[in-house]
Structure 1
Amino acid sequence: MYLADGGGGGSSTPTEFGQRKLKVDPSAIPEARKAFEHAIDEFDSKIKEAVRDLPTQPWAQDPISSETSKAFNEQTSDKALAALNFYRAQLAGVVDQLKMIEEQYRQVEGDNTAMWGKHLRDRD
């Protein structure tokens, strides 16, 4: 099974972030989903703290740091926030797609773990 970034996202994918494919063996779907869910939780806990520091404030309370802070915010923080939001959306899209595929496998295979692991045994 292959997943495109963003759970098969549409044309709103910024080209500067590129596209990647993820191949997941059907028997590994539940653990892969849990790993991506954990990544979202970690992302949320760390990024929410960091975003509070944006936009930057003039650090010396003088005209020079005020202009520097303004320029930094105009050139960097909007792009950084957009990239972070896009990355989180990609993680969420992969989780959604893994859930959908896992549900499809469960409808066809049931919870039969012997069938889920069949693909691994066939390679040996």
Structure 2
Amino acid sequence: MLKRWKFTCTCPLCSSDVETATSDLNKSRIQGILNELKVEKGRTQDTVAVLIKELEGILKAERLESQAGGFSSILAGMYFQMLDLDKAKQYAARAVREYTHYAGYESEKVEGAKGMVAFLDGVEYFNLD
């Protein structure tokens, strides 16, 4: 995958075929998890929790924590679609923290995440019964 990005590195991790293959599989799995989370049919709180735990493990293993804000934003939107306003707000607030930590206070990503928090704070609970 690194070669496709035209990135050349000679560190022990990048030059190890086994570790490179494992890393490529992990990065492909991230996309697989995101694709699974998009499928609304059969999506439950339990299946989502398992996928999120797997995603967080991969992000840590691959040292991609700096990308966590983007994933938290995606999860906030997904929980909003699932009508779980509490978890949507939780992940939106988490996105603000993560973007602020990794991108800085003045980042457009921080502003976008704050906008999502403000939007969700304005949403009122409704009863579907």
Common fold, TM-score beyond 0.5? no
**What TM-score, normalized to structure 2?**
0.23
| Rg larger for | 1
Q: Which has the higher strand share?
A: 1
